[in-house]
Amino acid sequence: MSGRSQPGVLADADVRRALAERAPEFALDGGALVSVTRHGSFSGSLDYVQQVAAVANGMDHHPDVEISWDRVTLRLVTHSAGGITELDLALAEAISRMGPA
């Protein structure tokens, strides 16, 4: 998605600029903000996802989550808007501030 398809959907260039400043752990990939982190074990991955869930619940905006043993993939996109919005950037920033993965 290179432009605005719905109100509130951000252009890719704006998303990349914001990520560099606010959430460098995330990348723009396939129309979503994506972060892949490793946690050393399945339990470590689950602990991380619980921390992400607490942040996401507090913001009432939730990522798509994939767990593969020690690896967690987070995808942020506002499905109802059809693209990346400020909500996704704010959640990515909040997750990035949680500290080391």
CATH classification of the domain holding 23 = 3.30.1360.20
Q: For residue 5, is pLDDT > 80? A: no
Q: Which residue's structure tokens are 């994506």? A: 34
**5 in any annotated domain:** no
**6 in any annotated domain:** no
pTM greater than 0.95:
no
**4 in any annotated domain:** no
Q: For residue 4, is pLDDT > 50? A: no
Q: How far apart are CA 45 and CA 37, in angstroms?
A: 9
Number of domains the chain is built from:
1
Query: pLDDT by residue (tens digit) across 7-35?
Result: 599 999 999 999 999 999 999 999 999 99
The closest of 20, 45, 21, 19 to 32, measured between CA atoms, is 19
**3 in any annotated domain:** no
DSSP-derived letter for residue 60 is: T
CB of 101 closer than 8 Å to CB of 38: yes
Range of the domain at 74: 12-96
